[in-house]
Structure 1
Amino acid sequence: MIMSLIDEKTRFELRSPSAVLCGSDMNGAWGTRHSFARTLLRRAASHHWTVSKNRLELDELGRGTVVFTVDVEGHELKFIAFCQALEESERTDRVIASAWDVTAALLEGELTPERETELRRNVTVQEQGRTDPETVIMTRANRSARFFDYVSDCLAAGTQPDVATIGPSPYLIRSTAFYGNGKFGLKELSAFPAGHPLAVPYRSQMLTAWLMRELSMDLVEHVARAKAHAAGTVAVPLDAAWGRYFGLGNATGLGMVPFLVNHPGYLDAWCRLRELPLAAGLAADYAPEHPDLARIAELLERADQHLAEKADLKTVPFLSTSSIRPQLGQLLRELQDFRTSGGTAEPVLARLHEHAAGLSPEARGLFASIVIELRSDFDAEADALLTVAAPTAFNPAMRCDELSALLTQNYAWTQSYDFTAADCSSYYWYTSADSEEPRREQRSKLAQGTVEHCTDVARRVNALAGDLGGFSAEASVAEFLLAHPNHRFAAERIQQTRGYQYGDLQDNLVDGKFLPLSTQRFQLATYGMNNFSPQSTDWVRVTLFSGAPRVAEVMSGQDDDDWLFPLAPEGESK
C-alpha cells in the first residue's frame, strides 16, 4: 500500500535535498505516471467521465462556437470555445497578445444565452475580461502556422500527414495560459468541496488542456471537410495513431521560476511525488526472471526509439537525444546481463539508477521515470500528496538560537556562496510593466524604484546568517528583527520551510550562471509535458498530451495508461 510509503518513508532512502533541488538534476526531469496529465486521464478512465460534443458551429474557416458537456462523476461541466482564424502576423505567444485563434473556458452551472453572451464578451479578451465565480478555467491558443493548414490540406486530399513533415513536436494549436483559482474572478480552488474530482490542484487546468487538444483535432477535421467540399474531394479524419500522437503545443518562460520560489510547499510536494515511488522502486529486490525487469527492458527500448524520432529537436543546453541514446544502451545491456545471469535476487534497479546518475542527469531522470512507471501502488495516494496546507504563521517569539539551528539544518548550502563577489548577485528579478511577465536583468541596470522579487533566497539567508551569528542566542526573533528589519523575509522563510524536505531550490537564482530552464523543465515535466526544446536560456517550447488517448478512447475504456515515451505513427501519408 502506498500509504505505507508516505507514513513509513524512513523505510526507504530518499535522495537528499542537495541532489534533488539542484539545477543539474532538474535538467534531466522527465514526466512520470504521476505527472498531472497522466493522473487526470487515469482518473477520467477509471471513473467513467464522459464528454458530449453538443455544438460545433463553425464556418468553412473554422470560425464559430464549440460547446462540450463533461460529466465528471455526476458533476456537469461545460467547455465553451470561441474560434476565429487570425492572420499569422496577428499571432503571438506573449501574455501581452490581444487576439487568439481560440479562447475558451471551463465552467460549472447552466450555460444560458445570457451567460454565453457575457462569456463571449470577457473570455475573448482574456486578461482584460472578468468572469463569474462558477467559471473554473479561462484559456487561449493559436493555430500552428506550420502544421494546422498542412494537416487540413492532407486530410482534405484523403491522406494522413507525413511524419517527417510534422517533425519532433507534434501539435495543431499551441496554448499560452490556463488561468484559474480566483484570477480574473474565476472559481477558487478552495470552493470545491472535499472529495470533488476537481478539488485536486491543477486537475481543472489539465482537463481544460485535454479538451483544447481534442478541439484542435475537431477543428482541423472540420476545416479539411470544408476544403474537400470546395475541391470536390473526399476528406478523411485523422487516423487513431495520429489522433494519439498530436498533443497540445505550449511555450513557457521565466514566470514559472518565481512561482516555485513563492510556493515552497508545492515544490516539496512535487519532489516527493517523484522521490517516494522512486525510492520504493529502487529498494526492491528482483530475481533475474522477475517480469518487472522485462517491462523495464521494454521501456528502455521504447525510450531509445522515442529519442531516435526526436533527433532533430533543438535541445541545447540540455543533452542531445543522440547523446542520451548510447547511455540508455549501456543500462539496457547491464539489465539484460543480469536477467540472463541466473543469480539471486538483489536491488538491481538501484544499481542501474546509480549507473545512470554517473552518465548524465537526462539518463538518470529518464531511468527514474521508468522505475516509477511500475509503481501503480502510488496512484491512489498521489492526489492527496498534492493538496498542500497553508504555511504556518510566522512566529516572532521563536528564540534566535532555534532559528539559527533551523538555518544550519536546512540552509547550510547558502553559506557556500560569496555574495561579496559581483557575479554572485549579477542579476535581479522583477515584473516587466511592458510585457506583464516576470523578467530578470543585470543588477547594474536596476532602476531606482524597481520592485525586486524575493527570488534571491540564498543571498538573503546568507546575509541573515551573518547578522544572526552576532546576536544574543536567548533573544527572540522579534528582537532580532527590530535591530535588523531587512531580514524579515529570510527569517520567515526559514520558519516556513522547516516542515518540508524539499522546500527550496538549492541554487543562487541571481547568479549570472543560473539557468532558469532547469527549474522550468522540472515544473513542466511534473505537469506531464515532453519534447523540451529551449529557444533561449529563459524560455522553452514543449508538448502536452502527445501520445495520450482521445475523448472517444477514454469513454470506451480503451485507455491502458501506457503512453510514456510516445512514438510517431508508422509509415508515411499515402
Structure 2
Amino acid sequence: MMLQDERTVHELRSPEEVLSGADMNGAWATRHSFARTMLRRAAAHRWTVAKTRLDLDELGRGTAVYTVNAEGFELNFIAFCQVLEESDRTDRVIAKSWDITAALVDGELTPEREADLRRNVPFQEQGRTDPETIIMTRANRSARFFDYVSDCLSTGTQPDVDKIGPSPYLIRSTAFYGNGKFGLKELANIPAGHPLSVPYRSQMLAAWLLRELSMELVEHVAGAKALAAGTVAVPLDAAWAKYFGLGNATGLGMVPFLVNHPGYLDAWCRLREVPLMAGLAASYAPGHPDLVRIVDLFERADRHLAEKSDLKTVPFLSTDLIRPQLHQLRSELQAYMASSQESAPVLARLHAMAAALSPEVRGIFASIVVELQTDFDQEAEALLTVPGSPPFNPAMGCRELRELLQQNYGWARSYDFATPERSSYYWYSSADSEEPRRAQRARLAAGTVEHCTDIARRINALATDLAGLPAEASVAELLLAHPCHRFAVERIQQTRCYQYGELRDNLLDAEFLPLSTQRFQLATYGMNNFSPQSTDWVRVTLFSGAPRVADILNGTDDDDWLFPLAPEGGNA
C-alpha cells in the first residue's frame, strides 16, 4: 500500500521501533482492533440478530441458529452442539470432535442447506461446504468454568469472581476458517457493498455469535439442572454477561502468516500507528476535557491490571510491575493539568516517557491515545483492503536492487550467520500436528522442507553474491548465475512500497520469541488477557467486556470496553 504523503512517513514511528519484538511485546487492543470495529459497525447500522432456534436437550445437545440482518443482507449462524467426555477434549488442530461446531452462511438457511451443513461442519477440516458458507468454526466447553457457572445459575446465584479468575470465558474457540478453505466463500467474492467485505469482519461476527451462544447454552443447562433439582435458575446478570468473553489459544501457526503477507503486516501496523501519531501531534491546554478522559482511562487500566494480578504473564511484564509505571504517567499528566500553561503536546511527552519505561506501558498508553481518535473508522477499513503484490521484475538493475536492500534490509545485515546461534531453529509443517512448527536445526532430518521464514539469512546470502556483479547487470543475469536468490530478490521488490512490511527479527535465532509476533496479531484482532504457556503458545480472551446481542439491538452499546472490569466483588 503506497503511503499517502511524505509528511505522514516522517510522523510515524520508525519500522525499527514498530517491528521489533520488544515493541510487539507491549501490544494491546485498540478501538480499531477488528472486534471493536465490527461491533461498532453493527451498532451504527442497527444490525439485528434473532435467535431463530435453540433446540437443545437438558445437557445442551442439539442445534442453535441465529439470523442476522446486516444492512439488508441475511446471514445465518448455525451451531451443532454435543457434550464430549473431558478426556476427548483438545484444542489442537488435530482434534476430531468438539463440543460445538458452527458455520456462518450468507443467505437463507434452507432445509437442504442445513442438511448439507450438518453432514460436513461437525467434521471441520474433513468436511466441505458450499461457496456461500463464509466461516466454519468450533469450540469446546471450559472444564473449569462451564459446569461451575451452570451450577451457580441453577441455584439462583451468580458466579464468584475469584473462582473465575483473570480469564473469563465459558467456551474456548480453536479456529475460524474462511476465505476459500474447505470450499468456503472467498473474501474476493464478497461484493464491496457487503458489510462483511472488510477482512476479518466475518471471523469477528462468528466469534461474537459463538460467545453469545456460550451464554445461552450455560443458561439453558442451568435451567435444566434447576428443573431436575426443584430450584429456580437465574440468567447471568448484565455485568457478568458483558464480562464473559470467548477463550482462545494460539500457537506458532500465526507467525508464518505475517512473514508470508507483508502487505497485511504493513496495514495492521498503520492501523495502530496512524491514529496514534494523530493523537500525539495534538496540543492540549491543561483544562481540556480529553485529558480528563485520559485520566479516567488510566484509572480503569490500573483497576483492570489489578484484577489480572494472578494471570501468568512471563515473559511479558507482570501487571504488578506495569501498574507503578502507569501511576507515573498519570501523575505526570495530572501535574500538567494543574499547571497554568497555555497549550502543549503533552501526550507526545507522555508517550516518550512511557516508551522509556517499558513496551507494555507504552502499548497501554498508545491504546488510550487511540481511544480518542473517533474519526478514523473509514480510513481503517480502507487500510485493511490490501492490493496484490506487484509482479516480479527481472529487468530491474542490480544497482537499484542494492539500493533497496540497503534501504529496507540494512537491519538484516547485522546478523552473522556464521555463528550457529543465528540459525538455531528451522520452521516446517508438522505432519503429526498439521500446523507450522519450529525445531532445533541440529535435529533437521534429510529431505525436510523448510519454510521460507529465514528472511534475514536469505537477504545476507543475496547481498554477498550481489556484491560480485556489476551495477549495470540485471536481476535476470543475477538469477541466471545464482538461481537460489529468486525468493530474496522477489521479497525485496515485493516490500518496497511498504513502510512496515518486514519483521525486524531473525526467526531462526536462538533468542527469537514467537510470542512477540503472536501478541501483536492477537491484539490487532482485539484479544486481551495474554497468558503465555510456553515460548510458543499463548492463551487469550476475545470480546471480554463487549456488548451482547441485546445491547446492540437496544442501541445501548457505547463502544466503551477498553480495559474491561470484573463485576463488583472481585479481587482487585
| TM-score for the superposition, normalised by structure 1 | 0.98
Q: Is the 8 A contact 1:353 1:368 kept in 2?
A: yes
What's the CA shift for 1:110?
2.4
Partner of 2:329: 331
What's the CA shift for 1:571?
2.5
Partner of 1:63: 61
- Deviations along 1:487-542, one digit per CA (max 9) or x if unpaired, are 11000000000000000000000001000000000000000000000000000000
Q: Is the 8 A contact 2:307 2:570 kept in 1?
A: no
Q: Is the 8 A contact 1:51 1:71 kept in 2?
A: yes
What's the CA shift for 1:118?
1.3
Describe how 1:147-546 pairs up with structure 2 within 5 A: 147-546=145-544
What secondary structure, in the 3-state scheme, does the structure 1 residue paired with 2:375 have? helix
Q: Identity of counterpart residues, as a percentage?
A: 78
What's the CA shift for 1:298?
0.5
What's the CA shift for 1:572?
6.8
In structure 2, distance between residues paired with 1:110 and 1:332: 52
| Long gaps (5+) in structure 1 | none
Q: Is the 8 A contact 1:81 1:105 kept in 2?
A: yes
The more displaced of 466-475 and 222-231 is 466-475
Partner of 1:108: 106
AA of the residue aligned to 2:529: N
What's the CA shift for 1:10?
2.6
In structure 1, distance between residues paired with 2:179 and 2:377: 24
- Deviations along 1:166-215, one digit per CA (max 9) or x if unpaired, are 00000000000000000000000000111211110000000000000000
- Runs of 4+ deviating beyond 3 Å: 5-9
Describe how 1:1-150 pairs up with structure 2 within 5 A: 9-10=7-8, 13-150=11-148
What's the CA shift for 1:7?
5.4
| TM-score for the superposition, normalised by structure 2 | 0.98
The more displaced of 506-515 and 10-19 is 10-19
Against the structure 1 CA distance between its residues 39 and 14, is the aligned structure 2 distance closer, same or farther, given a 3 Å change threshold?
Answer: same
Q: Is the 8 A contact 1:160 1:572 kept in 2?
A: no
In structure 1, distance between residues paired with 2:220 and 2:378: 39
Q: Is the 8 A contact 2:74 2:108 kept in 1?
A: no
What secondary structure, in the 3-state scheme, does the structure 1 residue paired with 2:117 have? helix
AA of the residue aligned to 2:88: E
Q: Is the 8 A contact 2:49 2:549 kept in 1?
A: yes
Partner of 1:552: 550
Q: Is the 8 A contact 2:73 2:107 kept in 1?
A: no
What secondary structure, in the 3-state scheme, does the structure 2 residue paired with 1:377 have? coil
What's the CA shift for 1:548?
0.1
Aligned residues: 569
In structure 1, distance between residues paired with 2:15 and 2:474: 29
Partner of 1:563: 561
AA of the residue aligned to 1:226: A
What secondary structure, in the 3-state scheme, does the structure 1 residue paired with 2:11 have? coil
Against the structure 1 CA distance between its residues 568 and 277, is the aligned structure 2 distance closer, same or farther, given a 3 Å change threshold?
Answer: same
In structure 2, distance between residues paired with 1:76 and 1:377: 28
Against the structure 1 CA distance between its residues 7 and 222, is the aligned structure 2 distance closer, same or farther, given a 3 Å change threshold?
Answer: farther
What secondary structure, in the 3-state scheme, does the structure 2 residue paired with 1:429 have? strand
